[in-house]
Amino acid sequence: MTEPAPAASADPRRTEGLHPLHPHLDALSTLELAQTFASDQLDAVQAVRRAAPQLARAADAALPRLARGGRLLYAGAGTSGRLGVLDASELPPTFSWPPERALAVIAGGERAIRQATEGAEDDEAAGRQAIAGLQPAPDDVLIAVAASGTTPWVLGAVAAARAAGALTVGLANNPLTPLLTATDCPVLLDTGPELISGSTRLKAGTAQKIALNTLSSTLMVRLGKVYGNLMVDLRAGNAKLEARALRLVMHATGAAEGVARAALSEAGGQVKVAVVSLRLGVGVPEAQRRLEAAGGHARAALGEGEWGL
């Protein structure tokens, strides 16, 4: 008599579990699939909302380091790594954050951004080397992302950053995993099982994207890159951004289009400088001096209050 095959051992990671609500996912209609996948993403939003205190703690720990000139470093594999690359890439055009201060590494190297290199994530030594190659320093902040929380390459990156004295932030979608215990500021994004079992590009990836947006945007606001809710550290580099910069200056100052355009031109396209110049009725050099004295915070430069780190 044939012996039954031994049962596979259960994986304790929730992201690897079987979703209990849709065992017949493949039998749903196209509309039902679209509705089901979209609704499941709500779990990602809730996971980040629960993690808000952890994200705030990470931001508060990172702020003084970044204010002293530290860099944001990102490390991840697969989807997590690509999301880190995306976040790092968007900070310079959005907030005029220096590109050399937002660096991302991904398991498998640049090729892995567009082509899956699944085996690369198992190489812990390569993760160490990738971060060591960036020459991390104590004022740097590493944001390490791994849905499983167990990825060897990411854990190697964390080890190298910690050895250099850098602050480490870990984003993982499973509780009690090595990434959360190895980092200074652990952030749990508990999204549970995926609709397609183990496909963490779904709501686990969505939660990571929201968390990265939340963390980096919080940092940029606290660093003075925003006035009110206006993106005043924007530097116009194309027609769309030039039009956006003009609208921002007009909104922040109440100036007519021609006046705002002239101020923006004199300020070299720097929205924040143009706003301070127009609001205070001073020239661009004086506006720049006041912003520098205020640590780059437009509100403080305008005498509307200070925002310390």
CA distances from 124 to 24, 130, 131, 158, 250 (A): 38, 10, 11, 10, 51
Q: Is 103 helix (H, G, I), strand (E, B) or coil?
A: strand
Other Cβ atoms less than 10 A from the Cβ of 274: the count is 30
Q: Which of 129, 140, 197 is nearest to 166 (CA)?
A: 140
Q: Is 172 helix (H, G, I), strand (E, B) or coil?
A: strand
pLDDT tens readout for residues 209-229: 999 999 999 999 999 999 999
Model confidence band, residue 307 (pLDDT cutoffs 50, 70, 90): low
Alpha helices in the chain (DSSP H): 30-40, 42-50, 52-67, 78-95, 124-132, 152-163, 178-182, 203-222, 239-253, 257-266, 271-280, 284-293, 298-301
Sequence-ordered list of residues with C-beta below 8 angstroms from that of 32, at least 6 positions apart, any chain? none
The pLDDT, as a whole number, for residue 241 is 87
- Tokens representing 133 are 């190659």
pLDDT tens readout for residues 58-94: 999 999 999 999 999 999 999 999 999 999 999 998 9
Of 3.20.20.140, 2.60.260.20, 3.40.50.10320, 3.40.50.10490, the CATH number of 43-222 is 3.40.50.10490
- 8 Å CB contact between 197 and 16: yes
pLDDT tens readout for residues 92-118: 989 999 999 999 999 998 888 888 777
Model confidence band, residue 176 (pLDDT cutoffs 50, 70, 90): very high
The pLDDT, as a whole number, for residue 170 is 98
Q: Which amino acid is at 246?
A: L
CA distances from 198 to 15, 107, 166, 205 (A): 6, 19, 32, 11
Q: What are the catalytic residues?
A: 90, 121
CA distances from 82 to 48, 77, 169, 183, 305 (A): 19, 7, 17, 20, 39
CATH of domain 239-301: 1.10.8.1080
Cα–Cα distance between 276 and 128 in angstroms, integer?
44
The pLDDT, as a whole number, for residue 1 is 41
235 has a pLDDT exceeding 80: no
The pLDDT, as a whole number, for residue 6 is 45
Cα–Cα distance between 179 and 157 in angstroms, integer?
10
Q: Which of 240, 242, 280 is nearest to 261 (CA)?
A: 242
Q: Which of 209, 218, 178 is nearest to 191 (CA)?
A: 209
Q: What is the mean pLDDT of the chain?
A: 92
Domain map of the chain by residue range?
43-222, 239-301
Q: Which amino acid is at 199?
A: S
